[in-house]
Homo-oligomer: A and B are copies of this chain.
Amino acid sequence: MIETKNLSLAEIEDLSFRALVAAGTSEENARPLAVATAQTEADGVASHGLAYIPIYCEHVQCGKVDGQAKPVMSTPRPGVIKVDAATGFAHAAIDLGFDSLIPLAREQGIAALAIDNSYNCGVLGCHTYRLAQAGLLGIGFTNAPASIAPSGGSKPVVGTNPFSIAAPGEDGQPALLIDQSASTIAKSEVMKHAREGKAIPVGWALDSDGNPTTDPNVGLKGSMAPSGGYKGVGIALFTEIMAAAMTGATLGIDASPFSGTAGGPPKTGQFFIAIDPGQTAQGAFAARMSDLVGAIHDQDGAHLPGDGRQSKRRKSADHGVDVNVATLERINAILL
């Protein structure tokens, strides 16, 4: 039984903010990360919420991320915004870019934001969500250190690389939000099984010769299994091309790990595309989304990607979130 304590979203944001600042993060950089942490906890994705605050703080202290970084923006073309995250937190770079991306997408019909010299951006769907809130279709990509092998090979070349798409709906809520990685299962699940000494199911990870394994430690030294075989590799490559090759960021094969303190800044990237459905679909978008979502919700037991997060988010706004007390203790130690 894990001991928990109920915190409001404002309390989660405030606690995150204070810990990040105490560790040496500028207030400007700490705020968007604290907001995203509260949002992530609200969505029920505890693995990427407060649990990450001690890691972020450690990374500021060891120089894996520059807490005082000032991201630099440029607009090389009317539809393209480029942000150099300057080895700071991805969230501050995304915030800076979105301030221009949103009006630009409305004006141009479509616009792109390419971020390099960046860091782990947390839950990707928290960012595309904001584009949908602004009435835009948001697509996002982010890359990670290599852990998936190519088809026919056994050595990792691409990360578990998630992509996300958020479609605008009514009342500032997305009609649909997809946020999925390219692997069968999150790497953190394999690590959890290793810590607990439990076997993993066949299909989660592969050994260093590319064969299935049920030993999580063998899998961690090998590679993560791509979702759906070669098609999962295709998704990981799609994301790697967008987040790294298209931004000039570091490829997963060259990036330092997101966990631990070794290797300096990972300098990975993010790529976002924002599109105005009012221009491309000329008035038909809302009806199509409503028909598509309706056809799914009309089926007993069927659900949309993002349904779970959305219902948790609604509940969390009123009732707060039950947070792991051990995590709180680790964060409070930073504040002492």
- The answer to whether A109 touches B76, judged by C-beta atoms less than 8 angstroms apart, is yes
Each complex incorporates copies of this chain amounting to 2
Q: How far is the CA of A260 from the CA of B90 in the complex (A)?
A: 51
Q: Shortest CB–CB separation between residue A207 and chain B, in angstroms?
A: 15
With A153-B296, A246-B280 known as contacts, the answer to whether A228 contacts B228 (CB < 8 A) is yes
Judged by a CB distance under 8 angstroms, whether A2 is at the interface is no
Q: Is the CB of A288 within 8 A of B178?
A: no
Q: Is A320 an interface residue (CB 8 A)?
A: no
> Which of A24-32, A59-67, A237-245 has 4 or more CB atoms under 8 Å from chain B?
A237-245
Is A82 part of the contact surface with B, judged by Cβ < 8 Å?
A: yes
A241 and B176 contact, Cβ closer than 8 Å, known pairs A80-B110, A302-B150, A305-B230: yes
Asked whether A165 is an interface residue with its Cβ less than 8 Å from the other chain, the reply is yes
B301–A153 touching, CB < 8 Å: yes
Name the prevailing secondary structure of the A interface residues: mixed
From B155, B178, B233, B283, A234 is in contact (CB under 8 Å) with B178
What residues of chain B lie closer than 8 Å to A107, measured between beta carbons? 77-78
Also in contact, A240 and B292, with CB within 8 A (given A77-B109, A153-B299, A247-B281): yes
Q: Shortest beta-carbon distance, A129 to chain B, in Å? A: 15
Chain B residues with Cβ below 8 Å from A110 are: 77, 79-80, 110-112, 273
